[in-house]
Copies of this chain bind each other. A is one copy, B any other.
């Protein structure tokens, strides 16, 4: 195999109470990438369709992630990468993670898989470091492992794949406004009350338990964030109204995707996810803000081969 075409998914990180640790992969939203094994050594980004992004390997997240991989193996070949971006950068659903994870996953396949998924997370995190200044793993992990993933620890890196209930659907609305990652980060407080922290880890425990037992009601009760959401949500117009209307429409829970501005809701079943989408759209139609909207089953496989 000298060429591979893949689907690499959008992802939701910071799943409510699971700030910085819990993420999930989407099924119907993602980029396409074609990776070719070539005789010329090194990594070249040959084409990016759909978005204006840097072609220089060192300035491209996929390029940097791929270089991190090559750095750990004696490789006789090089690789050419073509990316069709369907995820908008800055939307909060893991645009850079999809490219970074996709590149290393595909190269690993073409090399007959010398690396584990955990290694691939490590390489893809270098792309994240280029994109945001922080080598976080909570988007690249679900892209690579599929389903829900938990970043239990960074030192050492420890990623846990969490059981994903069959009927779990996500609805994501992306209001066409810019939230700077630096603003979303700087607005956070560096300390929290022990009381709020305990509430949060109680909910993390409940959410993980609900995922394993497929207890949708428990998942819903646990999708709370007492720490980050109250602060970051002020950067997203009409957040509280979108959340309230989503819950009224039947969503199990609703929160900020990544560092925003996208808002996600989780629902049991596609029908409810569609109703939630209508409720979300109605809010931004009234407020007069343009949006993209996505409905997706939670993707248990992660990155997939298209041909």
Q: 8 Å CB contacts to B: which residues of A150-166?
A: 150-153, 158, 160, 162-163
Q: Are A160 and B191 in contact (CB under 8 A)?
A: no
Note all chain B residues with C-beta closer than 8 A to A249.
none
Give the segment of A198-206, A233-241, A254-262, A285-293 that binds chain B: A198-206
Q: How far is the CA of A281 from the CA of B222 in the complex (A)?
A: 41
Q: Are B200 and A201 in contact (CB under 8 A)?
A: yes
Q: How far is the CA of A203 from the CA of B22 in the complex (A)?
A: 12
Note all chain B residues with C-beta closer than 8 A to A205.
18, 21-22, 150, 152, 160, 162, 204-205, 208
Q: Are A152 and B227 in contact (CB under 8 A)?
A: no
How many copies of the polypeptide does the oligomer hold?
2
Q: 8 Å CB contacts to B: which residues of A189-215?
A: 189-195, 197-206, 208-209, 212-213
Number of interface residues of A (CB under 8 A): 40
Note all chain B residues with C-beta closer than 8 A to A153.
199, 202-203, 206, 221
Q: Are B203 and A152 in contact (CB under 8 A)?
A: yes
A17 contacts chain B at the CB level, 8 A cutoff = yes
A188 contacts chain B at the CB level, 8 A cutoff = yes
Q: Are B150 and A202 in contact (CB under 8 A)?
A: yes
Answer whether A158 and B206 are a contact pair too, CB < 8 Å, given A194-B189, A212-B212.
yes
Contact with B along A168-202 (1 / 0, CB 8 A): 00000000000000000000111111110111111
- Residues on A close to B: CB < 8 A? 17-22, 150-153, 158, 160, 162-163, 188-195, 197-206, 208-209, 212-213, 218, 221-222, 227
